[in-house]
Structure formats: C-alpha cells, structure tokens
Amino acid sequence: MLADFEAADLPWGIVTNKPGWLTDPLLEQLGLSGRACCVVSGDTVNERKPHPLPLLHAAAVTGVSPDHCVYVGDAERDIVAGRAAGMQTVVAAYGYLAEHDHPETWNADGIIERPEDVVDWLTLRHLDAMVAS
C-alpha cells in the first residue's frame, strides 16, 4: 500500500498519540523511517487526538489542504479528530478494535478490512468525484 502511494507520488504521514520516544524506534525497526512525509507523535504538538491539531499539523507539514486528506484510524478518537480537521476518514477494521467498539457508528466515510483496501477505496472515491462533476 505504501509503495503504491509512493509510486503515485501521494504524500503520506503518520499521526499517533504515542510519544516520540516510542514512535521513532518503532518506525526504525519497521523500516519506515524517512519514508513518511511527516510523523506527528503525541508530544509533537500541544494537543493529542481526538483534538484535530495533530492532523492539521500533519497536513501543514505535507503541504496538503485538510480537505484533500484522508485519515485512516482504528479508534473512534481517530475518526473524531479527522472529521474535526475537515478530512475524509476511514476506519481500519483490522486495527486494535475491541469487542465493544462499533466502528459503523463512528460516522467515518468508509471502513476497510485490510491495509491494501485503502488504495481501492481511494480509487473509488476519485472515480465517484469525477462522475459527480
């Protein structure tokens, strides 16, 4: 999925509530350091999700207007933050969802079952936008 984004020259980033001292080594171990256009950790700005500030900061760093961003998350706070930031939102149903979570009630723009599904979701949204115009 990330290789598809990079091949299409689509900027992508990471916004997490984890502090930087946990985020940075994890990204290094996963081989993702330096690939993301931005990494916003829980201590990068003065607010954390569900506040929209971390997502707005990420959009500013990547140089993309929030209304042209899609935020994918696996918690309700992710969807709340994305919507408050004016972004499209997608629930990652393969994430850390608990049994009591009901992502279909979070008012996200979509739900995906696998990481690679986001590429299909984006393609469908783009085609829908072209047909509507």
The rounded average pLDDT for each run of 10 residues, N- to C-terminus, in the chain (133 residues) is 88 96 96 94 98 98 94 96 97 89 95 92 68 42
Domain positions in the chain are: 2-94+102-132
β-partners of residue 73 are 91
The pLDDT value recorded for residue 128 is 56
The pLDDT value recorded for residue 129 is 52
Q: Does domain 2-94+102-132 have CATH number 3.40.50.1000?
A: yes
- Triad 57, 61, 66: Cα angle to 5°: 60
Calpha distance 46→85 (Å, rounded): 15
The pLDDT value recorded for residue 63 is 94
Calpha distance 68→118 (Å, rounded): 15
Calpha distance 1→46 (Å, rounded): 30
The pLDDT value recorded for residue 131 is 43
The pLDDT value recorded for residue 97 is 86
The pLDDT value recorded for residue 132 is 45
